[in-house]
Copies of this chain bind each other. A is one copy, B any other.
Amino acid sequence: MKEFLWHIRVYYEDTDCGGVVYHTQYLNFMERARTEMLRSVGFEQDELLEKENVIFAVRSLSVDYLKPSRFNDLLRISNSIRHLGHASMTFDQSVIRHSDDSLLCKAEVRIACLHSDTLLPCPIPENIRREFNHAD
């Protein structure tokens, strides 16, 4: 998979009194999109936890805010994997206004794979690695 797209609608709850989407809300949208990207290739995070004792946690992120969006905008989240490590992966994610293809914000998000009991880093399950390596 080279790029995974996910659409999200802006509701009242996502906006602030500046009239635009609140800045941290884009990061929630990106987390939804990563969940759906995993689902799109057959991985459900509740099953990963139950069967493989594995959870994913955000280790670091950086984001640039370029343009605002507003109530009722339809957003398109673009997601790709920049780097697939042994126990972590790095996503490139951007948020685009669907109506005019404006780039609103872009982020780099590093996710660690952790053992659910110890919360220590552990290898990304082989089947996930295999799926995402096909991306290249």
Contacts and interface: CB of A to CB of B under 8 A. Distances in A.
Interface of A: 9, 11-13, 15-20, 22-25, 27-28, 31-32, 35, 44-46, 55, 57-65, 68, 70-72, 119
A60 B57 contact: no
Contacts of A57: 18, 23, 65
B16 A13 contact: yes
A118 to B, nearest CB: 13
A111 to B, nearest CB: 10
Contact of A11 (B13, B32, B68): B32
Contacts of A13: 16, 22, 24, 28, 31-32
